[in-house]
Amino acid sequence: MNIGVVLAGGSGSRMGIVDRPKQFIEIYGKPVIIHTLEAFEINEKIDAICVVCVKDWQEDLGLWLKEYDIRKVKWIANAGSSRQESSLNALDAIKDSCTGDDYVLIHDAARPLISQKIINENIEKVKEYGACDTVIPAHDTVIRSVDGASLESIPVRKELYLGQTPQSFKYSIVRKAYDDYFALPEDKRPEMTDDCGLVLHSGIKIGMAMGDKLNMKITTMEDLLLVKSIVRAGR
């Protein structure tokens, strides 16, 4: 079984919007999260979807699922205080319905332009490696700075990629990585920004699925402008 896990627990604080998290903003009449869920809904290889959602918006989400005829959502889990907690909540929510050999594709709700090709390649790669990350080559030179004021180093660009989502895992692998991580005392847990970092920390080799520049994350108002402009151009 392939399960899409859509993380919609963010607050949108970097956008300045106060009335709703970014994943619930509408793009030409439809919430961002619904655009994202539709991509998983129509993929023939995705069997079920789990949405991790902030509590205050779960009722709205339920109404939208009906309105937009999203049928594959089987679980709505509570958002955690961090990305890791949200992912863990999703893994807990689905645990009785899946086995260690099933696959989970963890995706940001705020990336509505995900293509079927990316989902399919994730499924292909996760079956090959047990874990996979969606990446795009870094076309710009990436600068490393420790103090935020001067350059520390310029890593070799051809070795650099930018991480996107989905990040996909065999359930048993990501479960163990999370259990091990949360078994550590809080002050001993390494800082992780995503699920792949956590799985990589547990020593698992992670494959790469090619992403797409269009699979951008709406984090700032400029990102929203870009996504809306892209969609407007196609009208």
Partner 1 sequence: MFAKSYKITEPKRFEIFVEDIQNQDVLVRPDYLAVCKADIRYYLGNRSRTVLKRKFPMALIHEATGVVVRDKKGKFKAGQRVVLLPCRKAECDGTKCTECVRSDPHLLDNYCPESKFCSSNYDGFSKELMDIEDEYLVPIPDCVGSEAVFSELLSVGFCALRRAGLTKENAPDNIAIWGDGIMGYIIALVAKYQLGCEVNVIGLAPEKLAMFDFANTYFSNDIDSLPRMTVAIEAVGGNASGIAANQAIDKLYSGGRLVLSGVANDNVPLNTRMILEHGLSVRGTTRSTRCDFENAIELLSDEYYRERVKKLLLSTVDVTDIKDYYAVFEKESKSTALGKNIMKIEF
Is residue 208 a contact point for partner 1 (CB under 8 A)? no
Tokens 């990102």, located at residue? 223
Does 151 bind partner 1 (CB under 8 A)? Our answer is no
- Nearest residue (CB) to partner 1, 10 versus 112: 112
Distance from C-alpha of 161 to C-alpha of 134, rounded to nearest angstrom: 9
Q: How far is the CB of 43 from partner 1 (least distance, A)?
A: 9
Residue (92 or 124) nearer to partner 1, CB? 124
How near is the Cβ of 232 to partner 1 at its closest, in Å?
Answer: 9
Query: Which residues have CB under 8 Å from 109's CB, separation 6+?
Result: 6, 7, 8, 10, 23, 32, 33, 36, 37, 51
Q: Which two tokens stand for residue 27?
A: 């793009």
Copy the structure tokens of residue 57.
Answer: 């918006």
Choose between 115 and 220: whose C-beta lies nearer to partner 1: 115
> Residue 63: exposed, middle, or buried by beta-carbon count in 10 A (0-12, 13-18, 19+)?
exposed
Enter the tokens of residue 55: 């509590």
Does residue 184 touch partner 1 according to CB under 8 A? no
By CB under 8 A, name the one of 16, 185, 203, 234 that touches partner 1.
Answer: 234
CB closer to partner 1 out of 36 and 87: 36
Q: Which of 58, 78, 97, 116 binds partner 1 (CB under 8 A)?
A: 116
**Nearest partner of 27 among 229, 233, 234, judged by Cα:** 229
Query: DSSP character for 72?
Result: -
- Min separation Cβ 223 and partner 1, Å: 14
- Of 3, 183, 191, 199, which is closest to residue 82 (Cα–Cα)? 191
Residues that bind partner 1 (CB under 8 A): 28, 30, 35, 38-39, 41-42, 44, 69, 112-113, 115-117, 120, 214, 230-231, 233-235
